[in-house]
């Protein structure tokens, strides 16, 4: 009896498992076919949708072609003030941003040693002048002695040897006079050098301008050995500045002197400043195999809002065409898909997996800019060849072709 019950339970359990497996497979089939049906409906809806052409209008307007570059705002001229003397800074008269005039004192070196040297040289000069007086007196005495010796020889009172001795003494006295004069000249030159050093010990501004940098403090020792150390940097009037831009070698051929430009700086992003090309250097600058050329532009700065070193982003106007016939560049890139339209049946595998993995081509095949436009006319799309002029990256000038202002050109499609 127990064996029969066990067999019944085993059969019931197996039946339950079979029913569970059947239900599971049924749910999978429903889910898959539901997904496929949804995709078919969705694909059908898309096929039923209308493909629209995006168009823009050819019109006349002013074409402005610019090249972009970055750089920095710098003073037109800066002067480095150095010290030719070594010594200790005894006083500093100016600080950063101070306005200075030509001749204003910037700093002073300790001149105590120079003053002492000047006194020694003045004493040496007086001694040399005294030696000159003594040599001149000796010369006069030697001249008279030589004359007396000649007179006595003529009277046969003295010998020829005495005359020769007197003449030799006279020549020595003449040489002593010349030596004394040379000593005086040397001492005067030494005094002049010391006076110049005393003047150089007072550092003065060579130009009118603004103190940009001060690299020295009171009590600091200055060592002017092989090269003169820079103590101050002065910028001439900041009312006129210079914009230095790095121009890419691909754009350098379009750059000319006197071309107008606009630029902005990070400090005033909403304000546009104006500049004009002054010079373009021939020497290249190569950084990481990138070749650029330095262009300098004149910038007015009457309100002194621009400061040296500010980073600038500039646009230089290299060409300007008034009342040009313009077409969007997107129209020059458009070409109809040669494989068909969205209304055609999809290619590839059929069935549910074909719908899931269909490789339907798009309506537009991307391509580089050409000389062809697709224009909407009464009889449909028409391919028109044009002659292109200059471009600013968004619009291109049309120089020739069977197009007129108001023509609708195709720039793309949308489903």
- Lowest average pLDDT, out of 140-154, 190-204, 231-245, 340-354, goes to 340-354
Q: Which of 268, 298, 321 is the last residue of a domain?
A: 321
pTM for the model: 0.66
Q: Which of 206, 231, 256 is the last residue of a domain?
A: 231
92 and 71 in a common domain: no
307 and 371 in a common domain: no
Q: What is the CATH number of the domain that holds 358?
A: 2.40.420
Cα Rg of the chain (Å, integer)? 49
Instruction: Identify the domain containing residue 361 by its residue range.
Output: 52-61+325-414
209 and 242 in a common domain: no
368 and 299 in a common domain: no
252 and 222 in a common domain: no
pLDDT at 155: 64
pLDDT digit string (tens) for 20-32? 545 554 465 555 4
- Lowest average pLDDT, out of 89-103, 224-238, 279-293, 308-322, goes to 224-238
Count how many domains the chain has.
4
88 and 208 in a common domain: yes
336 and 313 in a common domain: no
Q: How confident is the model at residue 343 (pLDDT cuts 50, 70, 90)?
A: very low
Q: How confident is the model at residue 165 (pLDDT cuts 50, 70, 90)?
A: confident
100 and 72 in a common domain: no
Query: What own/partner pairs with CB < 8 Å and gap ≥ 24 does 128-132 have?
Result: 128/180, 128/183, 128/184, 128/186, 128/187, 129/184, 131/180, 131/183, 132/177, 132/180, 132/181, 132/183, 132/184
254 and 317 in a common domain: yes
Q: What is the CATH number of the domain that holds 172?
A: 1.10.287.470
Which whole-number Å values give the CA distances from 116 to 5, 83, 110, 393, in the listed order?
Answer: 134, 20, 12, 74
Q: Which of 231, 247, 263 is the last residue of a domain?
A: 231
85 and 40 in a common domain: no
392 and 356 in a common domain: yes
How far apart are alpha carbons 170 and 154 in whole angstroms?
Answer: 19
249 and 202 in a common domain: no
pLDDT digit string (tens) for 179-196? 999 999 999 999 999 999
Q: What is the CATH number of the domain that holds 267?
A: 2.40.30.170
pLDDT at 225: 74
pLDDT digit string (tens) for 357-392? 334 334 444 445 568 999 998 878 899 999 999 999
């Amino acid at each position: 009896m127990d064996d029969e019950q066990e067999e019944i339970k085993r059969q019931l359990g197996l039946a339950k498992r079979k029913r569970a497996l059947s239900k599971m497979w049924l749910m999978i089939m429903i889910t898959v076919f539901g997904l496929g049906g949804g995709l078919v409906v969705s694909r059908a809806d898309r096929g039923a949708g209308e493909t629209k052409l995006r168009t823009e209008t050819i019109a006349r307007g002013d074409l402005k072609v610019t090249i972009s570059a970055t750089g920095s705002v710098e003073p037109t001229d800066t002067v480095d003030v150095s010290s030719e003397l070594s010594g200790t800074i005894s006083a500093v008269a100016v600080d950063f941003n101070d306005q200075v005039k030509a001749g204003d004192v910037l700093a002073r070196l300790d001149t105590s040693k120079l003053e002492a040297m000047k006194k020694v040289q003045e004493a040496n000069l007086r001694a040399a002048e005294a030696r000159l007086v003594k040599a001149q007196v000796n010369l006069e005495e030697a001249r008279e002695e030589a004359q007396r010796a000649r007179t006595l020889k003529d009277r046969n009172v003295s010998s020829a040897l005495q005359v020769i001795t007197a003449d030799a003494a006279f020549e020595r006295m003449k040489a002593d006079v010349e030596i004394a004069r040379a000593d005086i000249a040397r001492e005067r030159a030494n005094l002049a050098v010391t006076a110049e050093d005393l003047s150089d010990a007072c550092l003065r501004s060579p130009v009118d301008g603004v103190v940009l940098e001060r690299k020295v403090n009171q009590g600091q020792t200055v060592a002017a050995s092989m090269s003169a150390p820079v103590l101050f940097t002065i910028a001439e009037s900041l009312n006129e500045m210079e914009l230095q831009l790095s121009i890419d070698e691909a754009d350098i051929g379009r750059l000319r002197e006197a071309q107008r430009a606009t630029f902005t700086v990070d400090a005033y992003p909403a304000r546009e400043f104006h500049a004009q090309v002054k010079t373009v250097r021939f020497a290249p600058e190569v950084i990481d195999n990138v070749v650029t050329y330095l262009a300098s532009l004149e910038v007015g700065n009457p309100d002194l809002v621009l400061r040296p070193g500010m980073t600038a982003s500039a646009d230089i106007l290299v060409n300007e065409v008034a009342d040009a016939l313009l077409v969007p560049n997107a129209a020059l890139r458009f070409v109809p898909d040669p494989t068909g339209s969205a209304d055609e049946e999809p290619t590839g595998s059929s069935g549910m997996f074909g719908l899931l993995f269909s490789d339907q081509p798009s309506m537009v095949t991307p391509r580089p800019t050409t000389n062809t436009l697709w224009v909407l006319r009464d009889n449909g799309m028409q391919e028109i060849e044009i002659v292109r002029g200059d471009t600013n990256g968004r619009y291109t000038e049309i120089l020739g072709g069977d197009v007129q202002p108001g023509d609708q050109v195709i720039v793309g499609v949308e489903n």
